Chains A and B, each alone.
Chain A
Amino acid sequence: MKKKVFILTIIPALGSLVVINRVEPYVLGLPFVLFWAICWVCLTSLFLIIANKLDTSNKEEEEL
């Protein structure tokens, strides 16, 4: 389980550092490079929320 959580967090960490340096195509009116970065903002949130749901350390802490 810990491993899954780790993978879930490493994906957005890497994704948010990748730059696709191009203007075309425009998505939602935004140059591609900007759209791509915004995409990763949303995905980071999604991945971290799922990771938190799966994270067993939340339960362990409650028991303490």
Chain B
Amino acid sequence: MNAALLVILFFLVLCIWLGLQAGKGKEMNMEQWSVGGRGFGSILLFFLLAGEMFTTYTFLGASGGVYRSGMPTALYAFNCFYFVIAYWLLPPIWKFAKKNNVLSQSDFYEKKYNSPALGVLVAIISVIAIIPYLVMQLKGLGIIVSQASYGSISPNMAIVVGVIAITIYVTVSGMHGAAWTAIIKDILILAVIVFMGFYFPFHYYDGIRPMFEAINTAKSEFLLFPEQGLSISWFVSATIMTALGFYMFPHMLAGVFSAKSAKSLRVNAGVMPIYQIIIVFSLLIGFSAIIQVPNLNGTDADLAVFKMAKMSFDPWFVGVIGAAGAMAALIPSSLILTATATILSKNIYKVWKPNTTDQQLVKLSKMLVPVIALVTLYFTFNGGNNILTLYLLSYSFMVQLSPALIFSLWKRNPVTVQGAFSGMIVSIIIVVYLTITETSLETLFPSLPQVIKDLDIGLAILIINIVVTLVVSAITRKQGATVEEDTNTKNLVG
């Protein structure tokens, strides 16, 4: 038992305790459990949605990405394009949700298109997309805790303990548990990352500018976008793809639904970019590691932060960093678990058995939490991708749900149920196929110009998706119109 481990354990217990406290005194019906009774104001909402941004990706993925490939991943990590989209997209979604008592992201599709089947399809796609995302969080958790405990706890052990902890408080408190633990987590991460982001450059290089100059001399390619691969064209397309996919995630929309008003969502869109600035410090940590701890290859690059920390600090402080990192993995995971369980019970089970009562649904959702946790554990222990790859894969799936949602917010929705169905199914099949065969646009069309070859694959598929959606909608709309006329005439006759 070392000092680092004690600190991590302390925060873990604090987290569980707070998570359990949060649900006390509230009668846990479905609306309370899954969207916190829709009563979160600007401040709690801010922590909840911002908390979703501060994940393992910020903590390990961003700095690891910078360590691996420099500037392109750095800029990608804190782009603000999201928030402009959030400003326009979220208030109308929230308004519709409030009016129609929407609790989950699949509910939204179901009610907007008046088709339970579409709700089921969206639910299935989301659950598939969520798995790599959860796996990413858990892998990160394993790395963080085993590194911070100086190897006295194995990654797998850490993952199992972490999963048990969140399963307990999510089962009891649902969304309330996630929101309140998000607050301690954010404060801790903020302190730790800002401190290290300043400390490393000044301690090892005498300042931020000398650090970048040193990198520029040693590895000049790290500070610029390359001509191909992670080029500017990749950056722009990946940013757009992530921004569109970001709010499609069931746990993100659940966060949105828990807002008190449309205005608090607009305020939130304006304040969140400032929060992104903190990621810059995480990037500085990654940059400082490039010269100080060379030769971390493959997935080891995700360890860059901890190599630096162990080289520089006492064990107890490494423990604090570990606790911050562990929470960065656990709290988003708890949100995701809540949202996934809600979807599975409400949008799949209830469609199948329509006369399930609200009480039974809550019970079922709670029972599903450990089941989903177990499935994720299975995938975490059987697979070896780095954090950025998992992150992008998950988004490639998720972004395919965006056309049907965005078009449905127009005054006259050009998309029909059939259109939405075809677009989603075609694009998901392509994503799965390309992922399994590890194909990129580069291998598929070697003769295309570089600008196009570097496009993010998720966005490229999204374009196919939109075309299919609109074409099928146009065809079915025509048929639908004639069918409607038919019934009208029949009514007249009858």
Q: Which residues of A contact B84 (CB under 8 A)?
A: 9-10, 12-13, 16, 44, 48
Q: Is A1 interfacial (CB 8 A cutoff)?
A: no
Bound-state CA distance A30–B215 (Å) is: 12
Q: For residue A25, give the distance in angstroms from its CB to the closest CB of chain B.
A: 11
Q: Which of B33-41, B264-272, B294-302, B386-394 contacts A (4 or more CB under 8 A)?
A: B264-272
Closest A residue to B213 by CB, please name it.
Answer: A26
Q: Is B87 interfacial (CB 8 A cutoff)?
A: yes
Bound-state CA distance A19–B262 (Å) is: 32
Contact between chains at A29 and B208 (CB < 8 Å): yes
Bound-state CA distance A34–B45 (Å) is: 29
Bound-state CA distance A42–B85 (Å) is: 16
Closest B residue to A53 by CB, please name it.
Answer: B270
Q: For residue B190, give the distance in angstroms from its CB to the closest CB of chain A.
A: 16
Contact between chains at A41 and B266 (CB < 8 Å): no
Contact between chains at B266 and A52 (CB < 8 Å): yes
Closest B residue to A61 by CB, please name it.
Answer: B262
Bound-state CA distance A36–B202 (Å) is: 22
Q: For residue B97, give the distance in angstroms from its CB to the closest CB of chain A.
A: 14
Q: Binary interface profile of A, 23-38, with partner B (CB < 8 Å = 1, else 0)?
A: 1001011110110011
Q: Which residues of B contact A37 (CB under 8 A)?
A: 75, 78-79
Chain B's interface: helix, strand, loop or mixed, by majority? Answer: helix
Contact between chains at A48 and B270 (CB < 8 Å): yes
Q: For residue B70, give the distance in angstroms from its CB to the closest CB of chain A.
A: 10
A33 contact from B71, B83, B236, B276, Cβ within 8 A: B71
Bound-state CA distance A48–B265 (Å) is: 11
Q: Is B304 interfacial (CB 8 A cutoff)?
A: no
Q: Which residues of A contact B79 (CB under 8 A)?
A: 16-17, 37
Contact between chains at A44 and B209 (CB < 8 Å): no
Q: Is B364 interfacial (CB 8 A cutoff)?
A: no
Bound-state CA distance A45–B74 (Å) is: 19
Q: Which residues of A contact B78 (CB under 8 A)?
A: 37-38, 41
Contact residues of B between 79 and 119, Cβ < 8 Å to A: 79-81, 83-85, 87-88, 91, 95
Closest B residue to A45 by CB, please name it.
Answer: B273
Q: Which residues of B contact A29 (CB under 8 A)?
A: 207-209, 211-212
A26 contact from B209, B225, B232, B236, Cβ within 8 A: B209
Closest B residue to A38 by CB, please name it.
Answer: B280
Closest B residue to A51 by CB, please name it.
Answer: B87
Bound-state CA distance A48–B280 (Å) is: 21
Contact between chains at B223 and A42 (CB < 8 Å): no
Q: Is B239 interfacial (CB 8 A cutoff)?
A: yes
Bound-state CA distance A41–B272 (Å) is: 9
Q: For residue B426, give the distance in angstroms from its CB to the closest CB of chain A.
A: 27
Contact between chains at B207 and A34 (CB < 8 Å): no
Chain B residues near A (Cβ < 8 Å): 71, 74-75, 78-81, 83-85, 87-88, 91, 95, 207-209, 211-213, 216, 220, 223-225, 232, 235-236, 239-240, 261-263, 266-267, 269-274, 276-277, 280, 283
Jot down 20 A-B pairs with beta carbons below 8 A, ordered by A.
A9-B84, A12-B80, A13-B84, A17-B236, A17-B240, A19-B225, A23-B220, A26-B209, A26-B213, A31-B71, A31-B223, A33-B223, A41-B78, A41-B80, A44-B83, A45-B80, A45-B83, A45-B273, A52-B87, A61-B263
Known: A49-B271, A52-B263. 9 other contacts (CB 8 A): A9-B87, A16-B84, A29-B211, A41-B78, A41-B277, A45-B273, A52-B87, A52-B270, A62-B263
Chain A residues near B (Cβ < 8 Å): 9-10, 12-13, 16-17, 19, 21-23, 26, 28-31, 33-34, 37-38, 40-42, 44-45, 48-49, 51-52, 55, 57-58, 61-62
